[in-house]
Amino acid sequence: MTTSVGNPGSTTAEYKRSPSHFTDRITADGADGWPVEAGRYRLVVSRACPWASRALVVRRLLGLEDAISLAVTDPLQDERSWRFTLDPDGRDPVLGIAFLGEAYAAREPGYDGGVSVPAVVDVPSGVLVTNDYPRITLDLATEWTALHRDGAPDLYPEPLRDEIDEVMEDVYRNLNNGVYLAGFAKSERAYERAYRNLFACWDRLSERLAGRRYLVGETITEADVRLFTTLVRFDAVYHNHFKCNRNKLTEDPVLWAYARDLFQTPGFGDTVDFDHIKRHYYQVHTDINPTQIVPLGPDLSGWLTPHHREELGGRPFGDGTPPGPPPAAEEIPAPGRADTGGAAGTGGA
């Protein structure tokens, strides 16, 4: 998710997502100059951002919390980029910077492009390594294996990669990015095209998941992670704020049960902060919501209700095991959790 105030696609009728500018990879062999190394890198995320949330989920599932540290930005950024105002003195305690844009500038002096999360920063130098969100999670799954926890799942199994890639491309084009194409459209035609493509994909996914627990194979894969981070935001922001209002997630029995199944799986719901999600979308996108009023709903208690998806078979972690509880410092505060009913109000602008 790129730094923006208002609508980042406001110059065109159809929203265009900018490609990742920094695409170096952190690999086991260090081919790009960035070898996998415990403690060397810091993952910078906004809990509001679905793209960054992918990295949060994968890092938890694979047990990489001790290998790659975590920085969480304020959900409300400004024109200077994502801010570390949640930390004492408004600076990240490890990187020593006030804005993520400082790591971008350290990588490329004079850089004036978008500043997006997730981002991985080299701690010793303070230099941005990558903001290539699709690649970050795949590399965590395939290049960081020496540092995975015992029992970690294989999120990108080689025999299933072609099918996973095919499913993920449909999900990305029409749903992950489709909600933005609808929400940031500047013409009725662009909006209607995105809306129709989104719900055509929605129906394909609902049909696919009616008789199987996970998108590909019998266990959780990267494809499920990528779908989850959009579904978990759908009723809270995309249905209303982005006008994706044919139906709510809670009105689709299949996808609602599927999303609850994942939410209740360790590593998924325990990374979700509904307070950050709602405050970011409703207070930052001022073109869409000029009053910046944050809705009190929806009711979050349904996320914890029985889903019965285990009756379809499948094992979330295959022969592996679920991750343990999140580190205490990474637990979601009460205003953002489903088990506390979510935020009662923000007191913001």
Catalytic residue among 49, 104, 133, 282: 49
Amino acid at 237: V
Q: Is 201 part of the annotated catalytic residue set? A: no
- The SS3 assignment for 78 reads strand
Backbone angles phi, psi at 78, to 5 degrees: -130, -170
- φ, ψ for residue 41, nearest 5 deg: -115, 155
By the 10 Å C-beta count (0-12 exposed, 13-18 middle, 19+ buried), 115 is classed as: buried
Neighbours of 208 (CB within 10 A): 15
Confirm if 17 and 23 have CB atoms less than 8 A apart.
Answer: no
Catalytic residue (one of 41, 133, 180, 191):
180
Residue type, 34: W
CA atoms within 13 A on the CB side of 230: 22
Q: Give yes or no: 49 in active site.
A: yes
SS3 135: helix
Measured CA to CA in angstroms, residue 49 lies from 140, 203, 246, 311 at distances of 18, 24, 23, 32
The runs of H, that is alpha helices, within the chain are 50-62, 101-107, 133-142, 161-171, 178-183, 188-209, 222-233, 239-241, 253-263, 274-284
CB-based contact 102:10 (threshold 8 Å) = no
Active site residues per annotation: 49, 180
